[in-house]
Structure 1
Amino acid sequence: MTTTETVPTGAGEARITWYEAGDRAARLVLALGHGAGGGIEARDLRALAASLPPAGVTVALVEQPWRVAGKKLAPAPKRLDEGWRDLWPALRAPGLPVVAGGRSAGARVACRTARELGAPAVLALSFPLHPPGKPESSRADELLGAGVPTLVVQGGNDPFGRPEEFPAGEHELVEVPFGDHGFAVPKRAPVTQEDALVTITDGVGAWLDALR
């Protein structure tokens, strides 16, 4: 079952699209924010929303206020964090543990706020470790500072940080071979786009099961 909820925040109205767990009772909520260049239609977010509810995980795809308002540019990180904090009570309303997550900029928000919000874990999809071509401008401190169990899912050819560029730390990492920042794989690659999505959904599903 899918429902949509509008949530007021200090930055404007946010929107949560709930993908409820199926016949099995939900054991947790996975909240996923989008990136700065797109919304909840991203292939990885949609794949997780389709695959996890039958396993007892309710998925909440979160649209930040700037996106709901139709703006093309994301605000500063501080404003993104404020919107996420303000909608957190709505994510906790089902009374279940809420794993914080997101892709790209949404992953950064989840990492920066996880500890203060009481999230038991963080899922970081396509974490932007650095701007393309600028490895010296590292954002590793955000990832390493999450303070809770963290899973990074990263494309093998992500220009924002390839898997081998990530520093050692408490986080786990799943590589999506040949994937770019949006987990797209080239047609000439020896794996298909469907293979890439299965790597994501299987990896995330196994990690969530291990959190029990």
Structure 2
Amino acid sequence: MERHDIQGLGPLVITGQARRGRLLLAHGAGAGQDSPFMQRLREALAVEGVQSLAFEFAYMQRMRDEGRRRPPPRVETLVEEFACWRDSMSQGSPGPLWLGGKSMGGRVASLLAARDGADGLALCGYPFHPPRKPESLRLDHWPRLSSPTLVIQGTRDAFGTRDEVAGYALPDAAELHWLEDGDHDWKPRRASGRDQDGLIVEGARAIAEAMSRHACGDDAWPSE
């Protein structure tokens, strides 16, 4: 794991080697890159040969500096910030760069991809709707998604369960990998016989396989 400070953008945590690709990875609304979930996900991705480039939005950095919580800014602001990170990470680096994130971070990545396109998307616990508000769908931009899009979702996710998502009209570019009995943080119930670490490993493997499957042309990463 390497920590870098990118001028004008802030700190970046780089984990793993890009044997199967690079993933620019954003966090969720309430927890940054130091959350146990994000740390374990980056470690699992590294094992699978995916290099994660993990950044934090400016509001999260201010939370750390001020020592108090603050809400995220408007999503349009986050999209522009994500775009700056994408542009910086794309300069002078070979191979495709996938965009992705946890919950809100994945939503922002998908909005950016719908606007500008992307080599691919990895959305971890996509917030299809707010909890207990299944009518408030966050899918208006999805018809504009044309890049390979992988959603890794717990079957019990309060932001979109398997039964709920089955009724959505998703674009052909989208594919779903369901983590059995996982919630929004991919935590299963003890009675399921599964554990969160196992589901994180499964999710990371699904991301790596999707990146390998969609790699093609001169910019593709070499297969293992």
Question: For 1:197, which of 193, 196, 200 is the aligned residue?
Answer: 200
Q: 1:37-92 deviations in whole A, cap 9, x for unaligned? A: 11113444323321333544321111111111115311110111111112222221
Q: Confirm or deny: 8 A CA contact 2:23 2:50 kept in the other structure.
A: yes
Q: What's the counterpart of residue 16 of structure 1?
A: 12
Q: What's the counterpart of residue 157 of structure 2?
A: 158
Structure 2 counterparts to residues 1-212 of structure 1, below 5 A? 1-8=1-8, 13-21=9-17, 26=19, 28-70=21-63, 71-93=69-91, 94-166=93-165, 167-169=168-170, 170=172, 171-212=174-215
| Cα distance in 2 for residues equivalent to 1:144 and 1:179 | 27
- Higher alpha-carbon deviation: 41-50 or 60-69: 41-50
Residue 188 of structure 1 aligns to a residue whose secondary structure is helix
Unaligned 5+ segments in structure 2 are 64-68, 216-224
| Cα distance in 1 for residues equivalent to 2:7 and 2:187 | 31
How much has 1:118 moved relative to structure 2? Answer: 4.4
Which structure exhibits the higher relative contact order, with contacts defined as CA atoms closer than 8 Å and separated by 6 or more residues? 2
| Cα distance in 1 for residues equivalent to 2:141 and 2:37 | 22
| Cα distance in 2 for residues equivalent to 1:193 and 1:27 | 24
How much has 1:115 moved relative to structure 2? Answer: 4.8
How much has 1:5 moved relative to structure 2? Answer: 2.4
TM-score (normalizing by structure 1): 0.86
Does the C-alpha gap of structure 1 residues 140 and 116 become closer, same or farther in structure 2, counting only changes over 3 Å?
A: closer
TM-score (normalizing by structure 2): 0.82
Q: Confirm or deny: 8 A CA contact 1:160 1:181 kept in the other structure.
A: yes
Q: Note the aligned Cα RMSD (angstroms).
A: 2.1
Superposition misfits of 4+ residues, deviation over 6 angstroms: none
| Cα distance in 1 for residues equivalent to 2:48 and 2:198 | 20
Residue 191 of structure 2 aligns to a residue whose secondary structure is coil
Does the C-alpha gap of structure 1 residues 108 and 4 become closer, same or farther in structure 2, counting only changes over 3 Å?
A: same
| Cα distance in 1 for residues equivalent to 2:106 and 2:34 | 16
Unaligned 5+ segments in structure 1 are none
Query: What percent of counterpart residues are identical?
Result: 28
- Higher alpha-carbon deviation: 110-119 or 147-156: 110-119
